[in-house]
Structure 1
């Protein structure tokens, strides 16, 4: 691979890592945000909801927008948006303004993720698998070390440092990207450019509107009822409106010419549907730990942000160490065995959380986190391989988009679960209840993966016979 190709990968990698980095760094900042803005955990959890809902909507939209404006322009625009947000977010005068900046930050970072992989795939023609694996290291590595970096920044200042810490990465990526990313023309010829109305149909603006508004309304209704410990007229009305809007979204998507989420694909390919359901459950469990444990350690155990980040690093290190081993294992044996072991480790980690007492030592916490890290390393490769095995080649692009949506849905559900369990303030009893719920979900996942493993064994035996 040429030197220019390596610089291109580095410039793209520094950009696309901003999305997982900012989604994970905030895990250790939640208690500080609660204290600064005098809010309960349920209210502060919107810092997570807003980011993932915006990411789920922006990434597919910007992928399509690159046809009109060119991938280089979209990538550089995302860097510019991220730079502006990193400077302005620390000046937020209220939590509402911070949420606005968080949404804009998600849009900016998602613009880069949406086109970064495509830029590498188009402009690096030799050793593409190596190039894509390097970018995967940027993505998974940023998510893994995010809490540790967040803990260091919080030790240096407060939640404002979470945003300012982006600036060196943004500047480095911008300088490199401006120089090494080739200037590409829009893939749609100027004579064939879509009008605004046709482009809105192409991106399914109506579907995006129904999905976003319905999801936000449903979350508002559920969280409002949970906060007041009663089903008020407001929470019932808003929650019901959310359900109706999501039902309208499903009806619209089944009839749209270019649907935001092509639900008809699920009906035609049940094996792919099950992979996405499993991926939702995997992300629900993993991110409930990823976001819930740092708040428990800081609020209940009174462990500092820096030490919390160091503890969370055990999860990231185990995940990064296992990922390359998982790749070789899955190449030899297929995804079934690795995913079954992943579900078992996830169950062990969940049981480990339940077993933690109010005064449990750091070794017990690290062992539970290590189990989740091993599970995540196996899942990073195994779930993707399972998707490829279950999806026909002609729809692999659509399948990958649905796969990303499943990740965001699982993450949003994890935040909702934490908010319901934690309520106004994290307690030891609430954390133990969270562990019990995650254990039940992990056991369910083991059963699902055992069925996959048995099907694979049955198919293999039939092939040999």
Structure 2
């Protein structure tokens, strides 16, 4: 059994860490409402999703580095303060642009806690550490799973502003507990005072961060604005070219940087680790295309309320939560390969099921696709993490985990982009079927990758003496 201090430390960190997945998932049932409030189409409103994940993809690795100098306790507490301010100000946004600004601030604040939360647990809870890490995983996956239900309930009884105000009790409770339970960090060998401005910029790889952010945002704005207007303008072409140029420069810079933001050279040394990250990216494209696409479809096309949409989406989260513990035991015995194969097959089935849905299908039939994706998500959450650990040398596991999370955010961003391209300004049953066809192709590619891994493992085992 953990001692009382360890349990309270676990709760304080968990309450802070859950804010990132909770706020990324609650927004899925608020899209239709925000379109109505701000009189915008889906493509424009989808930036409330894009902005959060782009900011998270950049902030988490940066804050992980910053914690080495400023201390993990300091970064965690500062993240709670930033999240509190954003959650208080976002509902008061005078325009949609300001709402996006506060969503970015919220993303940075919650990312600060995710970036250092696991490290705090690893360092300060030495007894029953595996149990502590599994509880943290429940905080993360559980918050994402029940987010649509919480969001739908809040919007039904109050309004969209409540999905921001609901963060405040979590933030306050986490701050009070964290202030009392997280031990102060030992003074670092190198501090910010010891570093010149130039060394500081090199250490955090500021050029890499800027190239990545500008390139990704420019490319996305060019693609989304072209889709929303229905025509390609000179400005959109320029934005696309600028985006690709910056991303190309980013790749070249990262290959040469002494302290890269995303260590691309590592992938060249460990190709299996790269394959795991590609799989994780594709898995998240599949999962979040369903996660963000179905709530908007149910509300805009089928006329389902936010509250009932949240209840339907709960089948996704519950299946994921129930599957995760069984997945852990299965993978401990058989390794990640069989679980990942079953997961890919389930996602293929769920994607095909979307193709069969039309305007006359019972609304409850979406639960079949949601259950298939929920079970697969529970298998993937454990299976891909195990595959990552198996393919990554111990000395770079921290870097590998950081890149792994970045793959997740990129997959999420691509899923939102896919929905915008397929659905355009108006959701429809036909658009959902087209989306299902595209997801089926992606899911089949994962089946093939799992089969290749399975065959490779069989070959390796046959060569053993």
TM-score range with shorter-chain normalisation?
over 0.9
The TM-score, its normalising length taken from structure 1, stands at 0.98
Distance, in Å, in 2 between the alignment partners of 1:448 and 1:66 is 36
**1:261 is matched with which residue?**
262
Q: Residue 126 of structure 2: SS of its match in structure 1?
A: coil
1:41 is the counterpart of 2:6: no
Q: Distance in 2 between matches of 1:310 and 1:404?
A: 28
Between Structure 1 and Structure 2, how many residues are aligned?
Answer: 464
* 1:58 partner SS: helix
CA contact (8 A) 1:68 1:193 kept: no
Give the whole-Å Cα distance in 2 for the aligned partners of 1:129 and 1:208. 33
Cross-structure match for 2:113: 112
Task: Write the deviation string for residues 142-172 of structure 1: whole angstroms up to 9, x where unpaired.
Answer: 0000000001111122211110111111111
Contiguous gaps of at least 5 residues in structure 1: none
| Pairing 1:423–2:424 present | yes
State which drifts further: 13-22 or 392-401. 392-401
Unaligned runs of at least 5 residues, structure 2: none
1:128-207 correspondence to structure 2 within 5 Å: 128-190=129-191, 193-207=194-208
Partner of 1:3: 4
Instruction: State the Cα deviation string for residues 400-451 of structure 1 (Å, max 9, x = none).
Output: 1111111111111001001111111211111111111101111111111111
How far did 1:187 drift? 2.3
Q: Is the 8 A contact 1:352 1:364 kept in 2?
A: no
After TM superposition, give the deviation of residue 102 of structure 1 in Å. 0.2
Q: Which residue of 1 aligns with 2:293?
A: 292
- Aligned counterparts of 1:29 and 1:240: Cα–Cα separation in 2: 33
- Where do residues 245-260 of structure 1 align in structure 2 (5 Å cutoff)? 245-260=246-261
Equivalent residues of 2:358, 2:430 under 8 A apart: no
**SS of 1:254's equivalent?**
helix
Counterpart Cα distance in 2 of 1:188 and 1:431: 55
What CA deviation, in whole Å up to 9, does each residue of 1:50-69 have, x standing for no partner? 00010011111111111221
Distance of 1:460 and 1:272 partners within structure 2: 20
TM-score, normalisation: structure 2: 0.98
Q: Displacement of 1:221 after TM fit? A: 0.8
| Partner Cα separation in structure 2 for residue 191 and residue 104 of structure 1 | 23
- In the TM superposition, residue 193 of structure 1 has moved relative to its aligned partner by 2.9
SS of equivalent residue, structure 1 residue 454: helix
Question: For residues 235 and 422 of structure 1, what CA distance do their matches in structure 2 show?
Answer: 20
Measured in 1, the distance between the counterparts of 2:270 and 2:313 equals: 38
Match of 1:95 in 2: 96
Kept after mapping to 1: 8 A contact 2:16/2:170: yes
Q: Distance in 1 between matches of 2:110 and 2:194?
A: 26
Structure 1 residue 98 displacement after superposition = 0.2
> In 1, are the aligned partners of 2:302 and 2:363 still within 8 Å (CA)?
no
- Give the CA deviation at 1:268: 1.3
2:33 paired with 1:27: no
Query: Contact between 1:67 and 1:186, CA under 8 Å: does it hold in 2?
Result: no
Cα separation, 2, equivalents of 1:198 and 1:456: 44
Q: Contact 1:280 / 1:407 at 8 angstroms: preserved in 2?
A: yes
Relative to structure 1, the CA distance from residue 456 to residue 114 in structure 2 (aligned partners, 3 Å threshold; closer, same or farther) is: same
* Cα offset, 1:71, TM superposition: 1.1
Cα RMSD (Å): 1.2
CA contact (8 A) 2:357 2:429 kept: no
1:29-51 per-residue CA deviation (whole Å, 9 max, x = no partner) reads: 00000110011110011011100
CA distance in 2, matches of 1:81, 1:190: 23
**Counterpart in the other structure of 2:61:** 60
Shift of 1:191: 9.4
Give the superposition deviation at 1:192: 7.4
Q: Tell me the CA shift for residue 26 of structure 1.
A: 0.2
The 5-angstrom pairing of residues 64-463 of structure 1 reads 64-190=65-191, 193-463=194-464
CA distance in 1, matches of 2:252, 2:21: 32
Q: For residues 176-195 of structure 1, give each alpha carbon's deviation from its aligned partner in whole angstroms, at most 9, with x where no partner exists.
A: 11111112234235597323
What secondary structure is seen at the aligned counterpart in 2 of 1:74? helix
